[in-house]
């Protein structure tokens, strides 16, 4: 199983019955540290140091087990010394999990969540299964959104953009050609909703697209950053199109 860290949550979980449980994670340093996610979404490390416990204070000292060898004598030989709490300005996702009950008693329950931190604060907590589902939706999001919009425009008799070229409306040109025809190329990109790849002699490539197209892509990306929001957005669009007979 390897090393891990422990996480307790004051921040509300999707499943209230899991609120008081201790979770494990390998998303942090995996040094058997203890963390708390506070009600206001901060990640707190309960920092500790370790010290050697004198032999007379160890649990097996003075008992028959003490004579069984080094392993028995090592039990309880290290203890944690609290050093205080430190707020961790974490960025990214922390996956946590725990379980309750057992298969034998028929009440086994597995809990697994993903916590998204941005600028040191919780942005959302979701069940891991829902995050996987929503991330898959987000990966298809741009294609889905474009397909739905094009279908709606086609039914309204509106042409959204010129037909695709063989290479997906993308042309590739050299840096020298781009320099010589820059004004012309900008016009082509804006008029035809095309992307043009500019390649240098070392194999580096950059893409030129219309500013409006870039803004649209960035907006879709922003709106779908939250898995839950992504699912709601695309479902709402699909429902709206269906309700209009599209």
Percent of the chain residues topping a pLDDT of 70: 71
| pLDDT reported for residue 195 | 78
Q: What digits encode the pLDDT tens for the residues 5-55?
A: 999 999 999 999 999 999 999 999 998 899 999 999 999 999 998 899 999
Q: Mean per-residue pLDDT for 130-157?
A: 59
Domain spanning 140-243, CATH class = alpha beta
pLDDT for residue 91 is more than 70: yes
pLDDT, tens only, 170-223 = 678 899 988 898 888 888 888 766 678 888 888 888 888 888 777 776 776 676
66 pLDDT above the threshold of 90:
no
**If we measure between CA atoms, which residue out of 52, 74, 50 comes closest to residue 61?**
74
In the chain, where the domains are located: 5-128, 140-243
| pLDDT at residue 143 in the model | 57
- Give pLDDT, residue 162: 45
What was the pLDDT predicted at 167?
A: 45
Cα 33 from Cα 91, distance rounded (Å): 18
Instruction: Note the pLDDT of residue 21.
Output: 97
- Over 70: is that where the pLDDT of 231 sits? no
Residue 209, burial from CB neighbour count under 10 angstroms (0-12, 13-18, 19+): middle
Residue 122: strand pairing partners: 117
The per-residue pLDDT for 121 is 96
| Per-residue pLDDT at 224 | 66
């Amino acid at each position: 199983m390897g090393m891990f860290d422990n996480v307790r949550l004051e921040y509300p979980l999707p499943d209230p019955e899991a609120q008081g449980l201790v979770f494990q994670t390998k998303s942090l340093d995996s040094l058997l540290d203890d963390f708390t996610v506070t009600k206001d979404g901060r990640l707190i490390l309960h920092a500790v140091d370790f010290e050697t416990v004198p032999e007379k204070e160890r649990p097996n000292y003075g008992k028959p087990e003490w004579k069984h060898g080094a392993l028995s004598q090592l039990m309880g030989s290290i203890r944690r010394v609290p050093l205080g709490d430190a707020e961790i300005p974490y960025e990214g996702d922390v996956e946590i999990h725990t379980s309750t009950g057992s298969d034998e008693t028929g009440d086994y329950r597995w809990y697994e969540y993903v916590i998204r931190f941005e600028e040191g604060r919780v942005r959302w907590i979701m069940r891991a299964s829902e995050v996987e589902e929503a991330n898959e939706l987000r990966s298809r999001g741009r294609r889905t959104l474009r397909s739905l919009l094009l279908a709606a425009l086609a039914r309204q008799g509106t042409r959204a953009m010129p037909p695709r070229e063989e290479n997906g409306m993308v042309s590739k040109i050299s840096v020298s050609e781009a320099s010589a025809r820059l004004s012309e190329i900008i016009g082509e990109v804006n008029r035809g909703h095309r992307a043009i790849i500019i390649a240098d002699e070392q194999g580096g490539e950059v893409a030129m697209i219309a500013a409006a197209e870039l803004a649209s892509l960035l907006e879709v990306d922003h709106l779908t950053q939250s898995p839950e929001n992504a699912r709601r957005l695309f479902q709402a669009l699909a429902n709206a199109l269906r309700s209009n007979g599209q």
